[in-house]
Structure 1
Amino acid sequence: MNPSDYLLAGALGLALAACAGFRIFVPLLATGLAYRTGFMTPSADFAWLGSWPALAVLATATLAEMLAYYFPVVDNLLDTLTTPASFVAGTLLMTSALPELNPLLRWGLGVLVGGGTAGVIQSGTALLRAGSTATTGGLGNPVLATVENLLALVGAVLGLLAPLLMAGLAIGLVVWVLSRLRRWRQRRPVPEAGGLR
C-alpha cells in the first residue's frame, strides 16, 4: 500500500467509527454490505462481516436499535449499554479498515482512534438525550433519535463514498463534543471543602 492508500483506509475507518457513536450497528451493517458486494475487500480477520448470517444478524440488530430509541426510558437505558459497546464497534471498524498494518499498530489505532472517536460521540449524544429528558420530560427524545438515525445512515454511506470528507467532519465533531464537555464540567458547582474535617 502506498501512503495515500493508508490515508484513505484510515479516513474510512475513522468515518465509520464516528457513525458507531450515533448507532452501533448501522456502520457495521454498511461495512458488511460493502464486503459482500465487493465494494471493499476485507482482511481475513474481518471477512465474517460480509457473510450472510452476519448480515442477517446486523440488519436485525440495526432495525431493533433504531426503533428502540423511540421508546421513553428505553432510550436512556440504551445509552448506558451502548456507550461501552460503541467503543468496541469503533475499534472493530477502524481496525478492519487497516488490513495491511502491523497488528500491534493496527489494533492500537483501532482502540485509540476508532474506539475513542465512537466513545466521545456516543457520550455526547447520551448527555444530550439526558438533557432532553430533563428539560422536555422525554418529549424531545424522538426528534433526537431521528436525527441520530439519519446521521448514522448518511454518515455510513458518505463514509464509504467520501471517506476523507467524513473523516474531517468526524474530527470536527469530536473536537466540538470535547469542548462542550469541558465547558459543562467547568460550569458545574464545586462542592465546598468545609464539610470534611
Structure 2
Amino acid sequence: MSEVLAVLAGVGLAAACGFRIFLPLFVASLAIQTGVDGFGGFSLGGLVGDDLPWLGTFPVTVAFGVATVLEIGAYYVPWIDNALDTIATPTAMVAGTLMSFAFLPGVLDDSYLKWIAAAIVGGGTAGVIQSGTVALRGTSTATTGGLGNFLLSTVEAIVATVTSVLAVFLPLLAGVVALVIAIYMIRKILAIRRWLRSREEAT
C-alpha cells in the first residue's frame, strides 16, 4: 500500500509542478526534512531512499523556498508572466519527472525504468497541466489585455499549494485531484484551439 501511496504522492506533486515549478519541490523538501507523516503514518522521507538524498537537506529546502517566493511574485508582474510561460513548460516537465522519480524507489528496481516511468507519468502530467495554464493565460491576455491574469495567477498558486499539501498528507486524494485537473486542462486546451480556429476562419 505504501508503494501505491508513494506513486500517487509523486503524481500529485508533479501535477502541482504544472502550476508552479518550485512550490511542490519546496513542500516535498520541507516535508522530508522535518519528517512530517501524512495520513496513516505515510512519510515522504521514508520513501525517497538513497536516490535523491539531497532533496531533504536544509540548503535545498531554503533554495526552493526562495525560488518559490520569486516565482509566485513574478507571475503577478504583467507580461513577465507570459514570458515565463515560454520556458515553464519544459521546466515543469523536468520538475514533474523529478518528483515522480523521487517517490518511485521500491516500485521499480531498475533506475532506467524509473526515469522512463517518471518521465511518462510525472513529466507528462506536469506538461499537460502547464500547457493548459499557458493556453488559459494566453486567452486571458488576449481577451482582457492581461487584467485577468492576476486572478489566474492567484488561482494557480492556490491550486499548486493545495495539491502539494494533499500529496504529503493525503496522497490518494492528491492522485484523484491530479487526474481531474489533467482532464480539465486537456478539455480547455482543445476548447481554446477550437476557439482560435473559429476566429481564424472568421477573419
Q: Same-fold call, TM > 0.5? A: yes
Residue 12 (str. 1) matches residue 9 (str. 2): yes
TM value normalised by structure 1 = 0.90
Q: Which residue of 35, 40, 44 corresponds with 1:38?
A: 35
Matches within 5 A, 1:175-190: 175-186=183-194, 188=197
Q: Distance in 1 between matches of 2:55 and 2:88?
A: 20
Q: Distance in 2 between matches of 1:191 and 1:132?
A: 18
Looking at CA atoms only, which structure, 1 or 2, has the larger radius of gyration?
A: 1
Identity %: 46
Q: Which residue of 142, 154, 170 corresponds with 1:134?
A: 142
Verify the 8 A CA contact 2:135 2:189 in the aligned structure 1: no
SS in 1 for 2:52: helix
Aligned residues: CA RMSD: 1.7
Residue 21 (str. 1) matches residue 18 (str. 2): yes
Residue 143 (str. 1) matches residue 151 (str. 2): yes
Verify the 8 A CA contact 2:93 2:122 in the aligned structure 1: yes
Equivalent residue, structure 1, for 2:82: 76
Equivalent residue, structure 1, for 2:67: 61
Verify the 8 A CA contact 1:35 1:47 in the aligned structure 2: no
Q: Distance in 1 between matches of 2:33 and 2:66?
A: 17
Q: Distance in 2 between matches of 1:22 and 1:191?
A: 29
Equivalent residue, structure 2, for 1:169: 177
Counting matched residue pairs gives 189
Q: Distance in 2 between matches of 1:88 and 1:6?
A: 22
SS in 2 for 1:116: helix
Q: CA deviation at 1:158?
A: 1.1
Q: 1:148/1:90 Cα in 2 relative to 1: closer, same or farther (>3 Å)?
A: same
Q: Return structure 1 stretches of 4+ with deviation > 3 angstroms.
A: 183-187, 189-192
Q: Distance in 2 between matches of 1:12 and 1:65?
A: 23
Q: CA deviation at 1:34?
A: 1.2
SS in 2 for 1:44: coil
Verify the 8 A CA contact 1:25 1:62 in the aligned structure 2: yes
Q: CA deviation at 1:179?
A: 2.6
Residue 88 (str. 1) matches residue 88 (str. 2): no
Equivalent residue, structure 2, for 1:159: 167
1:128-155 Cα distance to aligned partner (Å, 9 max, x none): 0111111111111111111111111111
Verify the 8 A CA contact 1:15 1:163 in the aligned structure 2: yes
